[in-house]
Amino acid sequence: MRPYRSLLLLCALSIPGLPHAAEKQTFSSETARFKLQSVADNLEHPWSLAFLPGGSMLVTERTGRLRVIRNGKLLPQAVPGLPSLVVSGQGGLFDVVLHPDFEENRILFLSYAHGSSEGMTTRVARASLENGQLKDVDIVFEALPRSGASRHFGGRMAFDTSGYLYISVGDRGDMDRAQDTTDDAGGVHRITVDGEPAPGNPGLNDPNINNTLFTWGNRNIQGMALHPITGDIWTHEHGPRGGDEINILEAGTNYGWPEITYGIDYSGLPISLKTEKEGMAQPLHYWDPSIAPSGMAFYTGSDFPEWQGSLFVGALKLRKLVRLDVTNRRINAEEDLLTNLGERIRDVRNGPNGSLWLLTDSPRGKVYQAVPVQ
């Protein structure tokens, strides 16, 4: 069945005379009104946000720093102890996710770009956060082979309900790698917290598939979220010129890149003449033209009961927040928010206290909390 692509364009409403101060604007969706409260600013290309027990937050900066927000203020010093990483092109420090039992074991996971004489790649490290610093840093995943490209690292992560960690790796700018199941690029990997291939991975019984691979045919996934009811892992990925996709991950599924795509090359030439092919999954939803999606969260909070169950996606290229009305495994409608904010939305997070949080991607990036307006 073809993806549902209806679009409800809703522009942000601002208080007259204060068009450039986000905190002074009132924004409207089809069902709710809200303001953005700036919690932290002057972050260098913030990439990911994680909520700690007790109310503090961790924020990654792509330029290679892990920061802490405590009592509503950004601490001046970065968290020491990060693994060695490289900041080049799209590469740097990416995602931070907490172990499902973080409150007891203080373990977290970081994804990042790593460089060596053999090139660059996507790595994941496990570490303990103790007394404001990282300790016992251990590399639990490394995508191979490396390459000289500085783009399409992927780097989004999420835990499923069984406690397995999903890691996206982009095609590294070499599209054909996404169809090679003996290559770690262009797919999603599923591992245990100790870095072993997760039970049930398709490659455990097939020597032609790398044993951590869960899916392949993925161009560059930068959004990943656990569905709060079904337990499915949803993702979105960047298309080329058009063809950004939303998919639900299924073990051993080929999502088609570059054999099938709803986009074209940046040059304007076709990449493939096919949008469908036997044995390759259709996207649940796609965008054409591209919005350059990044960050992804299902809203389950209480601040905005009208948004319960909605899927939120940030957009870099088109500088907006997208709200998708979702029923089970179907997208019913789409709504554009924050179109007048003028910010690249890098990450979207469902907060622990019923709130929705955003990161903006710029040299002076911000952490915003959406606050309801009566």
Burial class (CB in 10 A: 0-12, 13-18, 19+), 245: buried
Residue 296 within a domain: yes
Residue 312 belongs to a domain with what CATH number? 2.120.10.30
Contact 68, 131 (CB under 8 A): no
- When pLDDT is averaged across residues 336-356 and rounded to a whole number, the result is 95
Mean pLDDT of 223-252: 98
Tell whether 2 is covered by a domain. no
| Tally of domains within the chain | 1
Whether 3 shows a pLDDT value over 70: the answer reads no
The predicted structure's pLDDT at residue 21: 63
Question: What is the structure's pLDDT at 22?
Answer: 79
328 pLDDT tier (thresholds 50, 70, 90): confident
Question: What number of residues does the chain have?
Answer: 374
Inter-residue contact 169 to 189 (CB < 8 Å): yes
Asked if the structure places residue 269 within a domain, the reply is: yes
Distance, in Å, from the CA atom of 148 to the CA atom of 9, rounded to the nearest integer, reads 40
Tens of pLDDT, residue by residue over 109-158, are: 999 999 999 999 999 999 999 999 999 999 999 999 999 999 999 999 99
Does the pLDDT of residue 273 top 70, yes or no?
yes
Percentage of the chain lying above the pLDDT 90 cut: 92
Query: From start to end of 26-170, where are the E strands?
Result: 27-28, 33-43, 46-51, 57-61, 65-70, 73-74, 93-98, 107-116, 119-130, 133-142, 157-159, 165-169
Q: Which of 2-11, 201-210, 256-265, 303-312 has the lowest mean pLDDT?
A: 2-11
- Which is nearest to 285 in space by CA: 266, 262, 318, 254? 262
Tell me the pLDDT of the chain averaged across its residues.
Answer: 94
Q: Confidence class of residue 316 from pLDDT cuts 50, 70 and 90? A: very high
Q: List the domain range (segments joined by +) for residue 49.
A: 8-372
Please, is 144 exposed, middle or buried when counting C-beta atoms within 10 Å of its C-beta (0-12, 13-18, 19+)? middle
- Provide the whole-model pTM: 0.94
Q: Tell me whether residue 345 is in a domain.
A: yes
pLDDT attached to residue 122: 99
Which positions are catalytic?
152
- Smallest Cα–Cα separation from 233: which of 338, 163, 136, 129? 163
- Whether the link from the prior residue into 258 is cis, omega within 30° of 0, is yes
- Given a cut of 90, is residue 8 above it in pLDDT? no
In the predicted model, is pLDDT for residue 14 greater than 90? no
Tokens coding 247? 């998919």
What's the average model confidence in pLDDT over 186-211?
Answer: 98
Q: Could you give the CA distance from residue 163 to residue 199 in angstroms, rounded to a whole number? A: 11
- What is the bridge-based pairing of β-strands 253-254 and 213-216? parallel
Confidence of residue 374 (pLDDT cuts 50, 70, 90): confident
Instruction: Give CA–CA dist 154/188, Å, rounded.
Output: 9
Contacts of residue 251, Cβ cutoff 8 Å, sequence gap at least 6: 200, 201, 202, 214, 215
**Predicted pLDDT of residue 13:** 33
CA–CA gap between residue 66 and residue 79 (Å, rounded)? 5
Let me know if residue 155 belongs to a domain.
yes
Helices (H) and strands (E) in the chain, counts: 1, 27
Q: Mean pLDDT throughout 204-229?
A: 98
- Whole-angstrom Cα distance, residue 20 to residue 16? 10
**E strands, 318-355, in order:** 320-327, 330-337, 345-350
Q: What is the mean pLDDT of residues 48-64?
A: 97
Residue 289 belongs to a domain? yes
As a whole number, mean pLDDT of residues 223-232 equals: 97
What is the spatial distance between Cα 234 and Cα 111, in angstroms, rounded to a whole number?
19
